[in-house]
């Protein structure tokens, strides 16, 4: 498989270049993912993202909010917030990303969720 200057995947069929359909591109990506997980990393592009660790208690305290207020404002279950703060569990990766955004730009999350008391 080759790529054009615009990085659009193309296939060569009987010497003729043919653009991949969206479905073919998805299937090709899945094949690459399976190959990568098997350690066959030939021509596989992998993007790794660092997901930050967030001290939920520290973020909440800096905002001057109680657990109930923080949970209500950002749509989190209060019991889950308590468990995170007490170390009984920890937020999953997508939630840690949300918490990192809350730590730096709480107004953005409030804007998306609609401001609450």
Q: Per-residue pLDDT tens for 40-81? A: 876 667 778 889 999 999 999 999 999 999 999 999 999 999
Q: Per-residue pLDDT tens for 89-107? A: 999 999 999 999 999 999 9
pLDDT at 9: 57
How many other CB atoms are there within 10 angstroms of residue 28's CB atom? 14
Q: In what order do the strands lie in the sheet with 9-13?
A: 2-3, 9-13, 16-19
- Domains, the chain, in order of start with CATH, read 2-37 (no CATH), 56-113 (1.10.260.40)
> Residue 53 carries which DSSP code?
P
The mean pLDDT of 1-16, rounded to a whole number, is 53
Asked whether residue 15 carries a pLDDT value surpassing 70, the answer given is no
pLDDT at 115: 65
Tokens of 94: 């997508």
pLDDT at 14: 64
Residues 56 and 62 sit within 8 Å (Cβ to Cβ): no
Crossing angle of helices 106-113 and 93-104, in 10° steps, is: 110
């Amino acid at each position: 498989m080759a790529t054009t200057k615009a990085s659009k995947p193309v296939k060569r069929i009987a010497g003729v270049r043919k653009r991949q359909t969206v479905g073919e591109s998805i299937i090709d990506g899945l094949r690459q993912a399976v190959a990568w997980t098997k350690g066959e990393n030939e021509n596989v592009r992998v993007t790794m993202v660092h997901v930050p660790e967030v001290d939920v208690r520290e973020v909440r305290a800096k905002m001057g909010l109680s657990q109930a207020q923080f949970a209500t404002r950002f749509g989190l279950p209060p019991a889950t917030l308590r468990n995170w703060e007490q170390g009984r569990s920890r937020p999953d990766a997508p939630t840690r990303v949300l918490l990192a955004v809350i730590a730096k730009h709480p107004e953005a999350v409030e804007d998306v969720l609609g401001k609450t008391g």
